[in-house]
Amino acid sequence: MDGSSDTVRAEALCPVHGNPVESICAQCGIRHISVCAALDSSELRELEAIMGRTYLAAGQPFVFEGDPVEHAFNVVSGGLKLFKGLRDGRAQITGYLLPGDFLGLPPRGTYTFSAEALEKTELCRFPRVALKRVFDKYEKLQDRFLTVVHDDLIAAQEHMLLLGRKTAMERLCTFLVRLLHRTERVGGVTAPLRLPLHRTDIADYLGLTVETVSRTFSQLRKSELIRLEKADRVFVLDRARLEAIADGT
């Protein structure tokens, strides 16, 4: 399974002057943090010519570990949960993707994880073969992609440090601080900060029990570092202290 609902867009013309209008990609709200940020408006039309859209409902499976990669994707809205299956039937959450994140060009051509939608989600969809031709044409797009891969590698190393060395309090604070940074990058609302994962998923991602996550949230609230609004809304009251705890200071 590799996405759904393709739509190819033709170049739009101004109904008055007949001139090309700014492309859909150029108007995209998350373009400045996506891989396609490397291209200018005219170059973006080459991406738009091969682009389709994929729409997912909350909880809908998206890709499966071991499947061949036929498309690459940009998350436009919503989000994806990434996980790996274990032989005993359990699953381990390895990450999550939010607007601006890129998916779908592993070197071996198969998915090394499974994914499902965290909520109602929209993605740009690019056929892998056609996208590779655009990459080959624009070296700056390749450079941008390598930067994204490098950032992902750093994030993976930091997550290993989190799982191996940090306390439960430090892990949860790190999760909240990283989420603040990611939300700010796309110009999202941080007051309140919306949590993309449920408590059980946060626990799995951080290598903790649900009880420990709930208890740690309560400790942060009692210390007046955060204020909880519903299960998935958090007001950060003392960001400096939250960042200090995340850094282990």
- pLDDT tens readout for residues 72-85: 999 999 999 999 98
**Least trusted range by pLDDT, from 88-102, 124-138, 164-178, 204-218:** 88-102
Q: Assign 78 to helix, strand or coil.
A: coil
pTM above 0.75, yes or no: yes
- Between CA 167 and CA 67 the distance in angstroms is 36
If one counts every other C-beta atom within 10 angstroms of the C-beta of residue 117, the result is 22
Domain extents in the chain: 31-156, 166-246
Instruction: Yes or no: say if 123 and 63 are a contact pair by the CB < 8 Å rule.
Output: no
Which CATH number among 3.40.50.300, 1.10.10.10, 3.40.50.40, 3.90.1300.10 corresponds to the domain 166-246? 1.10.10.10
* Token reading at 165: 């060395």
In angstroms, rounded to a whole number, what is the distance separating the alpha carbons of residues 130 and 127? 5
Amino acid letter for position 45: R
Q: What is the pLDDT of residues 168-222, one digit of tens each?
A: 999 999 999 999 998 888 888 899 999 999 999 999 999 999 999 999 999 999 9
Which regions of the chain does DSSP assign to beta strands (E)? 52-56, 61-63, 71-77, 80-85, 91-97, 102-103, 114-117, 121-127, 193-194, 226-228, 233-236
- Tell me the average pLDDT across 148-171: 87
Return the SS3 of 137: helix
Higher pLDDT, 160 or 6: 160
DSSP one-letter code for 20: B
Highest mean pLDDT among 11-25, 92-106, 134-148, 189-203: 189-203
pLDDT of residue 15: 37
Matching residue, tokens 């890709």: 63
Is 31-156 in CATH node 2.130.10.10?
no
118-146 in b/e form (b: 16+ CB < 10 A) is bbebbbbbbeeebbeebbeebeebeebbe
CA distance 103 to 76: 12
* Residues 45-56, mean pLDDT to the nearest whole number: 92
31-156 and 166-246, same CATH topology: no
Q: What single letter denotes the amino acid at residue 49?
A: A
Task: Give the integer Cα–Cα distance in Å for 227 and 236.
Answer: 7
Residue of 49, 39, 44, 56 lying closest to 11 (CA atoms): 49
